[in-house]
Chain A
Amino acid sequence: DSGVTQTPKHLITATGQRVTLRCSPRSGDLSVYWYQQSLDQGLQFLIQYYNGEERAKGNILERFSAQQFPDLHSELNLSSLELGDSALYFCASSPGQGVIYEQYFGPGTRLTVT
């Protein structure tokens, strides 16, 4: 158990819909990272927040957005969903803002778009 929690574990929704994925970091960790893992693209970094502020951006689509709240939990919002958005979404947390800090990954949310 990494100490990172993600809800829900599974999500099934239809194309065009909007969903919100939630992540609670390990106690004391200030950084939250979001990753997408699909069969054809592998594990891809989406975005990082540190203490409420966006710190780094990866291959995140404009239809996706994220935020980190004052209590440090984070939400990833996915809108206008397409079949290709079906994937595992992982959240990770670390104590600092650079990647020299070990990242602790949650169990993931499996999103299925039908």
Chain B
Amino acid sequence: DAKTTQPNSMESNEEEPVHLPCNHSTISGTDYIHWYRQLPSQGPEYVIHGLTSNVNNRMASLAIAEDRKSSTLILHRATLRDAAVYYCILSHGVYNTDKLIFGTGTRLQVFP
């Protein structure tokens, strides 16, 4: 199973950009890269996902390396509400039996 490696924790100041790295050196060609986050005392929340090209949405940007062995979640201007655990996940298996395997994630602290 393809696995991801993330730093245990990161810190940022409010209104600054945040780059959350994720390594997935054993990714296969059909694996999607997903990012979810979990705010304190809440269920996980979808952030973004991609396959090969960089992706943008209202919450964040996902930059995927050309060899796909790493990716970076970019929060353009961190707010206090962005303090959460961020999970980088690869989906694996054939389409109909995909499942998300959550790792330990990166705990992001945001300071005022």
Chain A residues packing against B (C-beta within 8 Å): 2, 4, 35, 42-45, 48, 55-56, 58, 90, 92, 97-100, 102-108
Contacts and interface: CB of A to CB of B under 8 A. Distances in A.
Nearest to B51: A100
A104 B99 contact: no
A100 B91 contact: yes
A110 B98 CA distance: 26
B43 A92 contact: yes
A42 B91 contact: no
A69 B93 CA distance: 26
Contact of A97 (B49, B87, B96): B96
B21 interface: no
- Specify the main secondary structure of chain B where it touches its partner: mixed
A58 B98 CA distance: 10
Interface residues of B, number: 23
Interface of B: 32, 34, 36, 38, 42-46, 49, 87, 91, 93, 95-104
Contact of B100 (A2, A97, A99, A108): A99
A103 B46 contact: yes
Given A42-B103, A42-B104, A99 B43 contact: no
Contact of B43 (A55, A100, A102, A107): A107
B102 A55 contact: no
Given A55-B97, A97-B96, A100-B32, A42 B43 contact: no
Contact of A99 (B34, B87, B103): B34
A106 B45 CA distance: 9
A102 B46 contact: yes
Given A100-B32, A100-B49, A90 B44 contact: yes
B29 to A, nearest CB: 15
Contacts of B49: 100, 102
Contacts of B46: 102-104
